[in-house]
Amino acid sequence: MAEQNFIKEPFHSWGGNWTKMKIEILVEYASAYLMIMNKYPFWKLLYFDGFAGSGLIIKENEVDYEITIGAARRIVELNTPRPFDYYYFVEKSKAKADDLSKATKLEFPDKNIVIKVEDCNVKLKDLAKYLRTDAGKKTKVLAYIDPYGMQLEWNSIKDLAEVGIDIWILSPTGMGVNRLLKTNGEINESWLERLKIFLGLTEQDIKSYFYKEKTDYTLFGEERHLIKEENAIEKAGELYQNRLKEVFNFVSKAFILKSSKGNIMYHMFLASNNKTAIKIANDIIKKYNNME
């Protein structure tokens, strides 16, 4: 593939060691998934990526560029023991979608690849509807949802209850949720609305979970106010895991993605209605957690 075509696009720059690890976890799981599903040729297999990107992740350093092949391209490259029958990529940026087309559709013309420039939430709802049709009931899905921020809406996940899907989700617990939770509980309206949509919770639910009431004694009597829990990021990961358990029968342990400074950025989970899927995911997660 002509990688130089992508080096000229600096807006694709992102990532670090944690970026590579999340991709390796996904690819290792996908390989195991295809190995198992090869025993069931009557199932059609669909891979769905809700924030597919450009196909390459480029990190600029002092000298040149470090290029990482993105998750979408890595999954398309898998052929043994069988490939997926369909690949459905969603990318809201037309520029990135065009580059993704070069990295996948043009490079693998024999594969059934669809790329949509659309909001992931819209296409997740379409996917949920499809999986309840006669054709959809003959299809198994492996999905990967790696948002750039808090674009994923809880209602889009809730719609996937009781369908044949294994879905990896990166929840921006440190990069998103924690940043919107003001220390004193005075969250502005737009941030609070974002939290409500992302978590699928009410304002009261959010504040009672992430805050505790503190009483200060002053010359003028008692003053009560809210203070954020010190371990808010860890609590956000636990909360999202428990929310997933309300939709799916099984949810994996978390793979915790940290920055180079050791700050938690994301919690990564697999959710499924298949117990074996979670066992495989937990084994992979344990392996990569031990690498940190």
Supply the pTM of this predicted model. Answer: 0.90
Kindly state the average pLDDT of the residues 206-216. Answer: 85
Instruction: For residue 73, give the H/E element and its range.
Output: helix 71-77
Burial classification of residue 271, based on how many CB atoms lie within 10 Å of its CB (0-12 exposed, 13-18 middle, 19 or more buried):
buried
Q: Which domain holds residue 86?
A: 4-184+232-289
For 77, half-sphere exposure in the C-beta direction (CA atoms, 13 angstrom radius) is 11
Look at residue 70 and tell me if it is in a domain: yes
Look at residue 207 and tell me if it is in a domain: no
pLDDT (tens digit per residue) in 160-201: 999 999 999 999 999 999 999 999 888 999 999 999 999 999
Look at residue 256 and tell me if it is in a domain: yes
Look at residue 141 and tell me if it is in a domain: yes
> What's the pLDDT score for residue 66?
73
Q: How many domains does the chain have?
A: 1
Q: What is the mean pLDDT of the chain?
A: 90
pLDDT (tens digit per residue) in 36-66: 999 999 999 999 999 999 998 776 665 556 7
CATH of the domain at 241: 3.40.50.150
> What's the pLDDT score for residue 292?
62
> What's the pLDDT score for residue 3?
40
Beta-carbon contacts of residue 9 (< 8 Å; ≥ 6 apart): 54, 58, 95, 99
Confidence of residue 67 (pLDDT cuts 50, 70, 90): confident
Q: At what angle do helices 17-37 and 275-289 cross, to 10 degrees?
A: 150
> What's the pLDDT score for residue 275?
97
Look at residue 189 and tell me if it is in a domain: no
| 57 neighbors 14 (Cβ within 8 angstroms) | yes
Look at residue 135 and tell me if it is in a domain: yes
Look at residue 150 and tell me if it is in a domain: yes
Dist CA 157 CA 176 (whole Å): 18
Look at residue 215 and tell me if it is in a domain: no
